[in-house]
Amino acid sequence: MRAAKTREHEITDFLQKKYSNFIHSIEIVSKVDLDLPNHLVGLQNNYLKINFLSVSKLIKVKSELSPIIKRNNETNHINFLTDADENKISFKNYSPTNYIEDIREHDIPYYIRVAIDNNFFVAKWYSINCSKGSPPSILVQSELLRAPELVIFAFDIETTKPVLKFPDASHDAIIIISYVI
């Protein structure tokens, strides 16, 4: 989740209080913002990484916050509040949710999120040990260097597009499609 600049701690406190039965932990992390026009330079923004107690609790919180985030983005509500905040204007209907700008990675399936967070990768060998009452121990067997034989199909589509933008099918033409097996 992205909060307005300098508001990360305020949003973190709000979320931890309001959703204490849903959220396991929140941490502030720096990530490259792919929405920036010059994202290839590697400019980063702060994001709130929110860990939930279950997928159903993630969905519950997301369903409550999504309309608020949509409203904030449609009305430029955040910019208005930031400008007003700098001018020391007080608001009767102030809410920390006014400073939530975006929600990201909320649609990644649980099993993929677990693989990403625990550095599980394909074409590696793992040793898995389970014991009652504790989480499984999963270790990479680095001594097994021979990777399984894979058949890979790769392709690339080159298009016309503005510099540092993603292609848009509505107006960008395909130049070439290449593939390798």
Query: For the segment 87-138, what is each residue's pLDDT rounded down to a tens digit?
Result: 554 555 678 888 999 998 888 888 898 898 888 888 788 899 999 999 889 9
pLDDT at 7 (0 to 100): 92
Q: Is the pTM of this model over 0.75?
A: no
Find out whether 86 and 51 touch, Cβ atoms under 8 Å: no
Please name the residue that has the structure tokens 């930031």: 82
Q: How many whole angstroms separate alpha carbon 114 and alpha carbon 118?
A: 6
Residues 24-49: b if buried by 16+ CB within 10 A, e if exposed: eebeeeeeebeeeeeeeeeeebebbe
Q: How many whole angstroms separate alpha carbon 154 and alpha carbon 67?
A: 38
